[in-house]
Amino acid sequence: MVKELQLRILPEQAASEQTICKYLSDEHGINPKDVCALRILKRSIDARQRTIFVNLKVQVFIGEQPATDAFPHIEYKSVEDKPSAIVVGAGPGGLFAALRLIELGIRPIVIERGKNVHERRKDIAQISRSHVVDPESNYSFGEGGAGAFSDGKLYTRSKKRGNVEKILNVFCQHGASLSILSDAHPHLGTDRLPSIIENMRNTIIRCGGEVHFQTRMTAFLLKGDKVCGIEAEETLIHDEKTEKHLLSFEAPAVILATGHSARDVYKYMYARGIEIEAKDIAVGVRLEHPSHLIDQIQYHRREGRGKYLPAAEYSYVTQVEGRGVYSFCMCPGGTVVPAASGPLEQFRYGG
């Protein structure tokens, strides 16, 4: 039998599967020995009153195992002998585009100017150690893109983006914690992100796609006004000597997923009269509060969050003279990272 229950319980009762099972036994008469599996479908914290509750929607499998996985898996089939498309950039946009191409039966050729996510770590450590920024491998450039070494928050307030469930499922299929499927404010975690990204790359390669690192797109190949491929410069380092090779890749379609820092790409397109459209930007300021203070205010208690509650957050949204003003994200306990993408650039900071 499968029971779906809506629970409103104390944080210490929601702390683990064991404590939830104990609650189910005490309040719903379900013998913990009969519980074969427990799935948390939704989790949120209600801190509006002095007593804080955790709202949980759970599925309890009593005397039977779940018949389906916790999320639908996508079957990525081989596209080895299928038509190709080039994807420039292996940030989230590029990686998800490549996986989607595979679903559609198209072979992705991914071109990334930076290094793979593990080698990129060394260049990122170098930025903090000696303030030297490698213009091709930094917080913005390299496999995983601009957010690869950040918190990996997945929460969006926007209602315009459609259903994001599939994105969460794809992350889970590549090693993210199942908690992102149920948390009201899901996040991947800095420690897990690199291996999730690597698993996505492995899916692309296993299906017959290609991933080229340290290969920077320099121009489009054009036939009349149609794009038929790209030119790129590959950098190889042997015995501390750097070699550069010019390459060209041909395919009937090119997806540009080069992110906000690829100024050279946009300058190139602008100079060639290729139509590009500026995107609105939001200008931000960083506010710092002691995490303990926010915990005290949001959880209405002097001792703060205690053992069973996560770091508290708040969000602020208002309109000023017809423009939206809103808090973007909170990163309790996070560090401020120097997200410059070039040696002469002022340090841009991201949390």
Cβ at position 256, least distance to ligand FAD in Å: 9
Closest to ligand FAD by CB, 44 or 218 = 218
Q: Supply the Cα-derived Rg of the chain in whole angstroms.
A: 24
Closest to ligand FAD by CB, 58 or 339 = 339
Rounded to 10 deg, the angle between the 92-103 and 165-173 helix axes is: 90
Q: 3-class DSSP state for residue 26?
A: helix
Instruction: Copy the structure tokens of residue 211.
Output: 């991933």
Cβ at position 216, least distance to ligand FAD in Å: 4
Q: 3-class DSSP state for residue 33?
A: helix
DSSP state of 34: G
Cβ at position 97, least distance to ligand FAD in Å: 9
Closest to ligand FAD by CB, 9 or 332 = 332
Cβ at position 252, least distance to ligand FAD in Å: 19
Give me the residues that bind ligand FAD (CB under 6 A), please.
88-94, 111-114, 139-142, 145-147, 150-153, 216-217, 257-262, 265, 337, 339, 350
Cβ at position 351, least distance to ligand FAD in Å: 6
**Which parts of 113-262 fold into alpha helices (H)?**
117-130, 165-173, 193-206
Closest to ligand FAD by CB, 52 or 86 = 86
Closest to ligand FAD by CB, 87 or 294 = 87
Q: Which residue has the tokens 């379609």?
A: 253
Cβ at position 2, least distance to ligand FAD in Å: 34
Q: 3-class DSSP state for residue 238?
A: strand
Cβ at position 306, least distance to ligand FAD in Å: 25
Closest to ligand FAD by CB, 229 or 259 = 259
Closest to ligand FAD by CB, 20 or 86 = 86
**Type of residue numbered 319:** Q
Instruction: Copy the structure tokens of residue 248.
Output: 């060209």
Q: Which residue has the tokens 């006004």?
A: 225
Q: 168: which residues sit within 8 A by CB, 6+ positions away? A: 71, 154, 176, 180, 181, 186
Q: How far is residue 80 from each of residues 105, 107, 205, 209, 311, measured CA to CA in Å? A: 9, 7, 9, 7, 46
Using the CB atoms, write b or e for 276-304: b if 16+ within 10 Å.
eeeeeeeeeeeeeeebeebbbebbeeeeb
Instruction: Copy the structure tokens of residue 303.
Output: 């001792």
| Residue 261 near residue 140 (C-beta atoms within 8 A) | yes
Closest to ligand FAD by CB, 30 or 90 = 90
Q: Which residue has the tokens 């017809």?
A: 322
Instruction: Copy the structure tokens of residue 272.
Output: 């060639």
Cβ at position 331, least distance to ligand FAD in Å: 8
**Type of residue numbered 77:** K
